Each structure stands twice: as C-alpha cells, then as structure tokens.
C-alpha cells in the first residue's frame, strides 16, 4: 500500500523556557550541531527503509524552536527527504519560528533551501502580555517578523493566545482585529491552558473564568468567519486554500513519521497502523540514535477500534468532519460498532453533531463542548480490545 | 494480651469471699483505667504485660480510647482481714449505644462501682447507669476519680451526686485511676460493702449466659455467671430457651489471661466452650442447666438487644460485594447485635441493609469493615423503624424508605419516640432547648443543680439519628451529655421525600421525614447534589418530591466550554489515553436518564447529609 506521508521533525531546544509551555523543549548552552544533524538524518533513514516508495506530501519542523536550527541542518534534512522519497509531490514545508530578530534574519535563507510556509510564535501583540508569557521577543520584533514573513513567503501563519488572566473580551477583540489586519491567510488562536508541570501551574496561575472563556471562544469563531478566515479546526483559522496540509493530515488520520526526541508517528504497513514514539529525553535519544541508528522508545500496533477512536477524536475537531464510509473501510468495522447508534442520535438530536450522508461533523455548539460530546459518544462502550505493545529501546 | 489458656489448680472459694461488681460511669470517666489499676494491684498481670486500658483489646477500642464490649476479670485480693477474696470485675462501656452491654453485665453482679469524674461531675450516662443499677437491686459504691487533676472539685461533685442521683456520698472515696491513689482502699471498700453472692452448690445447675463471642483459637466462647449448682468440664448442658444441648469442652476465667479450671461454682463467673459453631446459636440471657438434672425454672434473663438505626452499606467498587458479605459474616460472629440483609439499589448497586444499636455502633461497624477487611463503603442515610398501618388493616415495619408503600394505601404511620436526657451547663441551655424544639421535642422536665441543668425531652428518634448528637456537642462546646431510651410509637405526619435526578428517583437518597421538615431538608439535599455533580453536556435537574409533588429543585447548568486547545501529532495519543481513563472511570458512574453521575457524588451527598 502506498499511503502518502507527512514528516515531522522535532527540534527540542529553545532560547528560554516559557512559563506555560509543556512541550518537549529545553534550554541548552551548547548543542553539538553535527551530532544532532547526523542523528536526525539517521532516524529519518531508519524510517525511510520502512516507507520506501511513498509520496511525501508535507514536512514540518516543530519544536522547541526550529528557527534556532542551523540552516545547514534544515537544508540537510530537506535534501535527505529529497534523496529518499523525492519532493516533487511535496506541497508544504513548514517551519516554526520565533520572532526574535536573529531568527527573522534567517527567513530569506530558509526560503532558499525550500521552506515554503512559516508558522510564527507571536502569542501576543502587546509587550505586557509578552512579558507575562515569558516570551523572549518584543511586540516590535513580532511585527517585524510578520512583515518580513509577508515579504518572503506566500504562506505563513502566526499564533496568538487568549484567555490570559484578567484579559477582557474587549481587549481580545481588538488584539484579534489588529492580527487580522496583518495576517496573511492563516491564524492559530489558542486559549491559554495551564498544563501540569509548567511554571504557571506551579504558581497556580488561573486564566479567565469558564464563562469568559466560552464567550471568547464563540466570539473568536464568529469574528474569524466574518473576516473570511473561518475555523477549519478548533484553534486553526484560514482563508480557503491556506489551511495547513500537514496538520490536516493528522486530523484525517493520514500517515506521518515522527523524527526527533519525543516525536510520535503513525505508519500503516500492510493495513496495520503502527504508532511510534521516540525517546523523550534529548540526551538519551541522541545516545540511542548514535548507537543503533534510531531512538524509538515504543511502537505499538493500533487495533481497528483505536484507529477509529483517534479519527473520530480528531475528525470532529475539523470543519470537514469525518467520512463514516471511509472510517468503515479503514477499520473494517461497521459504523454501528464504532459509535453506539443511540448515543449518536442523542447527540444529533441535542444539536451537538450533524450528519449529512456519510459525513459527521460537530456543530458550533458541539465543537465548544467537544470533549464532553466525545465522552458521551465513545466512552461508555467497552468493545475496544487494545493492541499489542512491542517495546524496544530503553 | 490474652495468650493461650493456662491451667490452674482448683481451689474452692467460700461464697462469702466472692464479690461480683460492674464498673459503671459516663463515657471517659475512667472505668477502664481504674480496671487497669485493680488488675495491677491484685497482680493479675506483670508490669511487662500491663498497658493502658488493657481490657480494651479491640483495635478500634484502643484507637478511639473507648470501651465497646464489656470485659470480665477475676482478681484475687488480700483484704484487711488477711483473707483472699475473689473479685469478679466487669468493665462496661459508657456510650449510650452500648447500654445493652451494661445491662447484661449488671445482671451478672451484685454491686456496682460508680465512677464519677471529679472534674466533670454527673453526666447523662452516670444517671442512666445508676438507674440501671438500682433496677438490678445493686449496692452502689460511688467513687470520685481523677482527683490528681487540678480542676477536680470532689466536694462540689459529691454534693451534686447526692442532689441529682440521690445516693449517699458521705463515705465516697477520692481516687486517681491514673496514679493508683486510693485504689487499694476501693477494693477494700468493695469487700466490705458489697453483698456476697448466694447460691447452692448442691442444687440443679443454673448459670446465666451473659455474653458470647468468637475467639479465633477457641471458637465460640460463652461468658457465664453460675447461680446454683456446679458447671463442670465434660458436663452435658442444655440451653433452656433454645433447647440446644452441648458438651462443655473447657471451663475457665480471665485474669485477664485465660485460665483453665475444672469447674465453676455458685457465685463465680467465667467462660465455657463447647462445640458451638455459630455465635447466633447462643442466646444471651438464656439459662444453662445440666442435661441430666435440669433446673425447673430458668433465671430471669434479659431482653435481647434490638437494632434501632438502619442504613444501607454498599461497596464503592461493585466488585467488592462478595467481600462485603464475607466480612459482615465474620464481624457478626463477634457482634451479634447488628443485623444485615441483602439489598440492591439503582444508584449504588448491590449491598446490605444493616441495623445497629445506635449511630456510634453504626460508625464503628463501618470503620471495622473498612479497616479490618479493607473495604471501601458507601453508607446511606440512617433511618429508624416506622410502623405503617395500612388501610387494609395490615401493619408493616419499615426499615428502609425504599419500601414505603403507596401513600394512598396508608392509614397512618407511627414513629418511635425516645425519652432523652440532656445534662448541660446553664450557659448553653438556651441553645440546647432550641435544638430540641427544632427537632419536634416536647419538654417533660427541666431541673437545675448548681450551674447545670437537666432537660428531659420526648423526641422522635428519627430526628436524633441524623446529626443531633453532633449538633448538641457543637452548640454546647462539648459540655452537654445525652442519654436516651426508647419510649413508644406515636402516629405522626410523616412523608417520604424522594430525590430525582433528571426525573429518575435515586432511591439511595430518599428519606422519611416529618411533613414540616420535608421542604427544607429536600432543598438542602438538592443544593448539596448541585455542588457535587460536575457540569455535563446536558442540563441536570435535581428535584425533591413527595409522591408526584415537587417540593424543591436545583439545576446543574450544562457545560458551556470543554474542548482541548491543541491536538497535533503527539497530542493524539495523550488525548486517547485520557478518553480511556474516563472509560475506566465510567465503571464508577451511575446512569440517570441521559446523564451519568459519578458515584462519588452520591457518596459525598450521603456523607455530609444530616
Ligand atoms: N488525670 C487523670 N486521667 C484519668 C484518670 N482516669 C482516667 N483518666 C483518663 O481519662 C480518659 C478516659 O479513661 P478511660 O479509662 O478510657 O475511660 P472509660 O470510662 O473507660 O471510657 P469509656 O469506656 O469510653 O466509657 C483516658 O485518657 C484516661 O487516661 C485519672 O484518675 N486521672
Ligand atoms: S518557545 Fe515555544 S517551545 Fe519553546 S519554551 Fe516557549 S512555548 Fe515552549
Ligand atoms: Mg472504658
């Protein structure tokens, strides 16, 4: 089978650690760039052996802060993909960038080596908020980065956060208005969530109240739709044609390789989907890769029901929803075995879900409560059988 | 403390050198501590074997510092006349729930040692126990304890005892069970003041079955008091009430160590074992006689204990039902005073309906189940026994609100009333009276003694089994004491309040209450549940109803926003795990209409519900 492929690279380093961040990101004084370049290529090779002949549709450099990667490394990785699979069918190569001036200066070089989409971690457009969020850049740098991205790339996106403590819906509205005036075709708008293990969590920082959070979410979606950049996923908004292909692939249940410490992947080989997970800790990952060529901590066969679960979970987050016919083909299970029909009709009657033909989508009122809807829809059934786990490494 | 039994060569003691007495007092006035000192003084245990409240052998007794089960010890005391006397001491519990233990101990003795805490004075159980002693024609020897404490006011308390209890305190000794001061003198006084037992060794055997329990080594043990005749090892005996015949295997007594002897003579107390399988096969208060030479009439005996408070016990984890059943069976071997039978509930699954002597008893059994048997339990609201008089002429006893018949078929309902005695310092009297009035109490007596008042009320028991005792303690800052006895059944305007979640009744939360209190109680439960049930996709209606009539309601609003902000490659696994965790959590959920409610919400509603 020749499913198309997406490739994700994880670069786990940042200039400083943001107090809300629970990603696999670390601040290192020294990085052995040569060793890291080699290791990433080596792991890419390891997965290339298992996916020869596939078509790579998108590549994504995430992190951490991949804009801190030496351009040489990015280039080497893109070339490696070109050599292993070819890049003719690759529509999108995204790199996440932080807007500090040194990184902004690299935009042009990045474009030259093949990056065609940028995702900028702006997070806020005023300095107070940026300070609160512990970001290393100023609002001026953010605007410059956006400006330069607009002049360099056809497609770029930037991230903003809302629901910061004491933020009013009015101030968020005006921030969003400003963002729209400088956006290109894509915005990722996230509500601040306090994750365990972060500085914010430790200091018991609380975002806005549940009510304000709901109001902001609804307002955001309405405003973005009016501006011609409707949400195509819970937190992602784009003009038609500007959607992130790479991310859509996740939500549609496509295959992807996860390269680098802590990266996750899904690879389907002769109809069996395998979930892969690389060693989380960067030191251990690097050591393992230099030893055996890859740093896989775990790979595990997903059962058809698990596959379905993932797809329903992510698919309902998107505007396009899930194609139940496709889901049936993919899993070999009938839709009634995947979703309890009485629970489904219950959610439809209540207005949380919508069914037209084979397509199941979450409505506006459904999306905002999607976790509860999913719980109602999926959790009560115990037909899920689990998959065999094969542990390697570590 | 009590290891394997030892042998003792039999010495026959003259009746005139035996004294049998119970130590009685209000809770914590120092009965068990005094027993310790007496055991020590008489050399029943060595220094090394001694520990505080040595007779409180159950773990829960030691932990809570209270006596639950009466204990009997045989002491040898060398009196002033140079003779050795046999003293059979019975340490009794002070808490009102275990009054039954006191009554049967008293039936086995000729006298009572009344202990009064010299810092506290006469309390409700002091009074109640003295009355019991008087009913048993006991000689009462009062002592003032804890005089080592600076707050002790022996003279004032003496006067109080005379006034309130009405017994002579002229010669009342002042002692400290803690330091041992005066203990020797008390023993001497007991020898002098208490009557020796009477009995005829040649007559047919008559022994009172005082208590029975299960011992892991010796099996079922029976505590007896021999009145007439001789109880010998190997003898075939008949239980006069049940008719059962057993062969006595062992005869002995506690020092508190188990000592094995050949026989027990008139006036003596001790234990016997026979091949008895179940504690339930022995009926306390029964008379044991010799099979081949039976007595003609049994001893007076006493009434069996009756449970007055009922509740449901359910395992939190439905898989623990069998464990719960086994544990109840085992516990019952040692405490036949609680009852249990299987029950099933929509909200809580399979469990048991249990009857107890009171709230403390309930709490203790629940705690023992949880601790000794490692169970996690839900206890439903306690209830009393109602008498339902049906239009058809039938009369039913209702132990569980769930079984309440349709109101249209009911002629009237009677509920149990108690006579409650509250002793309280003046300053708190107002609050106590108000509490009693709120609980539908009717005052029958109010007397003052110095700065203390004694209020006697008629109260419905169902108003007391909720949080009466806790409230009483809190409004009097711990100074009020309380005692009660069941008086009668009286017809009342009682209704069953059902709690509905999304129109479906949660039977485990239903309760029976006086019409007047239905609405406020219903409202409290609705509000409580509202705070306990997490918001969900759908609005949840919580209602309290009498029949079809809604008397209170609360609403848990629907969840407005509940969506994860980020879900990319790596987050998918995490999110799926979360869903799976919720799935496991679902086992502890109960379905009501289209919503699922965590069992923990019911648990919490029941825990705090008054
Ligand atoms: N200072 C002092 N404390 C005493 C004396 N006698 C008993 N106590 C303390 O009073 C508390 C209660 O004593 P217990 O002997 O358990 O009282 P009890 O009457 O057996 O209590 P229940 O069995 O629960 O009714 C314990 O903390 C004892 O240490 C005494 O003479 N002096
Ligand atoms: S820059 Fe991004 S990845 Fe790095 S610490 Fe901040 S939020 Fe985390
Ligand atoms: Mg005691």
Rounded Cα distance, B377 and B369, in Å = 8
* Mean per-residue pLDDT, B351-363: 89
Query: pLDDT tens across A151-185, in order?
Result: 999 999 999 999 999 999 999 999 999 999 999 99
Q: Which residues line ligand 2 (CB under 6 A)?
A: A 14, 17-18, 21, 23, 25, 63-65, 98, 121
Alpha carbons within 13 A on the beta-carbon side of A271: 5
For helices B359-372 and B321-334, angle between their N-to-C axes, nearest 10 degrees: 120
Quote the percentage of chain B above a pLDDT of 90: 51
Name the phi and psi angles at B222, rounded to 5.
-120, 130
CA-proximal residue: ligand 2, atom 3 (nearest) = A64
B277 in contact with A at a CB cutoff of 8 Å? no
Token pair listed for A28:
């290192």
Residue A312 has what pLDDT? 94
- B12 touching A, CB under 8 A? no
* Ligand 3 centroid from CA B171, angstroms: 25
Confidence of residue B586 (pLDDT cuts 50, 70, 90): low
Work out the minimum CA distance from A250 to partner chain B, whole angstroms: 6
Find the A159 Cα to ligand 2 centroid distance in Å.
Answer: 12
Of B239, B246, B210, B213, nearest to B225 by C-alpha is B210
pLDDT of residue B593: 67
pLDDT (0 to 100) of residue B9: 45
Question: Between chains, do A258 and B565 touch, taking CB under 8 Å as contact?
Answer: no
Quote the pTM value. 0.66
CB atoms within 10 A of CB B58: 17
Q: How far is CA B469 from CA B227, B463, B484, in A?
A: 40, 10, 11
How high is the ipTM of this complex?
A: 0.89
Whether A87 has a pLDDT exceeding 70, the answer reads yes
In 3-state terms chain A splits into helix, strand, coil percentages (rounded to 5) of 40, 20, 35
pLDDT in tens, B439-497: 999 999 999 877 889 999 999 998 888 778 878 888 988 788 888 888 999 999 999 99
- Tell me if A210 and B564 make a contact (CB, 8 A cut-off): no
Q: Which ligand has an atom closest to residue B177 CA?
A: 1
> Using an 8 Å Cβ cutoff, are B489 and B446 in contact?
no
| Record: contact B566-A313, CB cut-off 8 A | no
Element (H, E) at A248: helix A245-251
- Most ligand 2 atoms within 8 A of CB, residue of A9, A12, A13, A14 to mutate: A14
Kindly give the number of the ligand 1 atom that is closest to the alpha carbon of B145. 31
Residue closest to B509 by CA, chosen among B306, B347, B290: B347
Res B2: pLDDT:
41
What pLDDT score was predicted for residue B328?
A: 92
Q: What are phi and psi of B84, to 5 degrees?
A: -90, 125
Which residues 6+ apart lie within 8 Å of A118 measured at CB? A94, A95, A96, A97, A107, A110, A149, A152, A153, A155, A156, A157
DSSP codes joined into one string, A307-375:
HHHHHHHHHTTBSS-EEHHHHHHHHS--HHHHS-HHHHHHHHHTTSEEEETTEEEE-HHHHTTHHHHHI
Give the ligand with the smallest distance to the CA of A159.
2
Average pLDDT, rounded, for chain B? 88
Q: Which of A59-73, B33-47, B486-500 has the lowest average pLDDT?
A: B33-47
Of the pLDDT bands very low, low, confident and very high (cuts 50, 70, 90), residue A381 is very low
Checking if the pLDDT of B11 tops 60, the result is no
Find out whether A24 and A12 touch, Cβ atoms under 8 Å: yes
pLDDT of residue B610: 41
pLDDT at B545: 95
Closest CA to B114 of B99, B97, B131: B131
- A103-139 residue pLDDT tens: 889 999 999 999 999 999 999 999 999 999 999 999 9
Domains and their CATH numbers in chain A: 2-246 (3.20.20.70), 306-375 (1.10.10)
The phi, psi pair for A246, rounded to 5°, reads -60, -45
* Position with higher pLDDT, B4 vs A274: A274
* Nearest residue in chain A measured CA to CA from B567: A314
DSSP-derived secondary structure for B388-454? EEETTS-EEEESSGGGPPPGGGEEEEEEEEEEEEEEEEHHHHHHHHHHHHHTT-EEEEEEEETTEEE
**More confident of the two residues A129 and B382:** A129
Rounded Cα–Cα distance for residues A258 and A276 (Å): 7
Q: Whose CA is nearest to atom 5 of ligand 2?
A: A17
B599 pLDDT band (50/70/90 cuts)?
Answer: low
Return d(Cα B404, Cα B512) in angstroms, integer.
9
């Amino acid at each position: 089978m020749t499913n198309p492929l997406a490739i994700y690279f994880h670069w786990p380093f940042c200039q400083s650690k943001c107090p809300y961040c629970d990603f696999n990101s670390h601040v290192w004084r020294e990085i052995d760039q040569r060793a890291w370049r080699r290791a990433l290529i080596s792991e890419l090779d390891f997965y290339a052996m298992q996916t020869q002949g596939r078509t790579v549709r998108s590549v994504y450099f995430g992190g951490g802060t991949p804009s801190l990667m030496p351009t040489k490394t990015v280039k080497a990785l893109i070339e490696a993909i070109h050599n292993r699979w070819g890049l003719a069918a690759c529509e999108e190569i995204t790199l996440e960038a932080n807007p500090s001036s040194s990184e902004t200066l690299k935009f042009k070089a990045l474009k030259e080596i093949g990056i065609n989409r940028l995702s900028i971690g702006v997070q806020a457009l005023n300095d107070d908020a940026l300070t609160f969020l512990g970001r290393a850049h100023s609002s001026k740098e953010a605007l410059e980065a956006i400006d330069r991205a607009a002049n360099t790339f056809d497609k770029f996106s930037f991230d903003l956060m809302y629901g910061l403590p004491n933020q009013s819906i009015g101030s968020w509205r005006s921030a969003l208005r400003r963002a729209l005036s400088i956006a290109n075709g894509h915005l990722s708008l996230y509500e601040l969530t306090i994750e365990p293990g972060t500085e914010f969590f430790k200091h018991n920082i609380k975002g806005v109240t549940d009510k304000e959070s709901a109001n902001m979410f609804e307002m955001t979606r309405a405003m973005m739709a009016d501006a011609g950049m409707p949400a195509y996923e819970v937190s992602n908004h784009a003009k038609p044609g500007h959607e992130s292909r790479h991310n859509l692939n996740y939500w549609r249940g496509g295959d992807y390789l996860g390269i680098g410490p802590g990266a996750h992947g899904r690879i389907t080989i002769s109809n069996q989907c395998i979930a892969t997970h690389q060693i989380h800790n960067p030191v251990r990952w690097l050591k393992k890769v230099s030893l055996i060529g890859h740093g896989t901590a775990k790979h595990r066969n997903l059962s058809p029901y698990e596959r379905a679960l993932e797809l329903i979970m992510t698919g309902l987050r998107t505007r396009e929803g899930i194609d139940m016919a496709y889901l049936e083909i993919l899993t070999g299970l009938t839709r009634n075995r995947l979703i309890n029909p009485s629970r489904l009709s219950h959610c439809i009657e209540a207005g949380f879900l919508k069914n037209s033909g084979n397509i199941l989508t979450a409505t506006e009122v459904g999306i905002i409560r999607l976790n509860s809807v999913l719980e109602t829809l999926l959790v009560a059934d115990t037909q899920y059988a689990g998959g065999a786990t094969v542990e390697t490494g570590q | 403390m009590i290891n394997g039994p030892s042998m003792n060569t039999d010495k026959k003691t003259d009746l005139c050198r035996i004294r049998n007495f119970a130590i009685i007092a209000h809770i914590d006035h120092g009965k068990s501590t005094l027993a310790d000192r007496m055991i020590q003084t008489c050399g029943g245990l060595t220094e090394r074997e001694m520990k505080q409240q040595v007779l409180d052998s159950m773990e829960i007794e030691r932990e809570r510092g209270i006596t639950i089960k009466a204990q009997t010890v045989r002491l040898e005391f060398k009196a002033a006349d140079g003779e050795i006397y046999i003293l059979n001491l019975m340490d009794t519990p002070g808490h009102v729930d275990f009054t039954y233990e006191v009554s049967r101990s008293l039936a086995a003795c000729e006298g009572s040692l009344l202990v009064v805490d010299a810092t506290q004075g006469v309390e409700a159980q002091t009074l109640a126990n003295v009355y019991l002693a008087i009913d048993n024609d006991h000689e009462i020897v009062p002592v003032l304890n804890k005089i080592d404490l600076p707050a002790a006011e022996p003279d004032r308390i003496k006067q109080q005892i005379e006034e309130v209890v009405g017994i002579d305190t002229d010669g009342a000794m002042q002692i400290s069970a803690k330091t041992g001061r005066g203990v020797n003198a008390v023993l001497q006084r007991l020898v002098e003041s208490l009557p020796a037992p009477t009995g005829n060794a040649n007559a047919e055997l008559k022994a009172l079955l005082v208590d029975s329990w299960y011992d892991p080594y010796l099996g079922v043990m029976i505590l007896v008091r021999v009145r007439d005749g001789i109880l010998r090892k190997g003898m075939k005996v008949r239980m006069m009430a049940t008719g059962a015949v057993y062969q006595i295997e062992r005869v002995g007594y506690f020092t508190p160590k188990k000592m094995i002897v050949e026989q027990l003579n008139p006036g003596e107390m001790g234990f016997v074992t026979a091949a008895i399988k179940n504690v339930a096969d022995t009926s306390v208060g029964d008379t044991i006689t010799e099979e081949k030479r039976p007595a003609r009439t049994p001893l007076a005996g006493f009434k069996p204990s009756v449970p007055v408070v009922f509740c449901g016990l359910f395992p939190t984890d439905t898989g623990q039902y069998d464990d719960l059943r086994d544990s109840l069976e085992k516990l019952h071997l040692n405490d036949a005073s609680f009852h249990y039978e299987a029950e099933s509930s929509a909200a809580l699954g399979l469990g048991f309906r249990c009857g107890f002597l009171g709230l403390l008893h309930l709490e203790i059994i629940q705690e023992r189940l949880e601790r000794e048997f490692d169970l996690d339990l839900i206890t439903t609201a306690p209830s009393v026994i109602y008498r339902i008089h049906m239009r058809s002429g039938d009369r039913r006893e209702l132990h569980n609100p769930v079984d309440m018949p349709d109101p249209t078929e009911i002629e009237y309902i009677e509920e149990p009333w108690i006579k409650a005695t509250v002793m309280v310092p003046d300053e708190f009297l107002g609050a106590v009276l108000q509490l009693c009035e709120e609980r539908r109490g009717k005052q029958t007596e109010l007397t003052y003694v110095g700065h203390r008042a004694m209020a006697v009320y008629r109260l419905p028991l169902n108003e007391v089994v909720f949080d009466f005792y806790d409230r009483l303690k809190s409004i009097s800052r711990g100074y009020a004491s309380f005692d009660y006895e069941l008086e009668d059944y009286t017809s009342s305007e009682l209704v069953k309040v059902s709690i509905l979640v999304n129109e479906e009744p949660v039977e485990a939360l239903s309760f029976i209450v006086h019409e007047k209190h239905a609405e406020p109680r219903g409202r409290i439960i609705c509000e409580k549940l509202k705070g306990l049930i997490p918001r969900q996709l759908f609005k949840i209606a919580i209602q309290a109803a009498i029949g079809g009539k809604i008397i209170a309601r609360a609403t848990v609003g629907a969840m407005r926003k509940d969506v994860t902000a980020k879900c990319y490659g790596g987050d998918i696994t995490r999110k799926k795990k979360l869903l799976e965790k919720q799935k496991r959590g679902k086992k502890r959920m109960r379905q009501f209409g289209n919503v699922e409610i965590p069992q923990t919400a019911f648990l919490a509603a029941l825990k705090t519900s008054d």
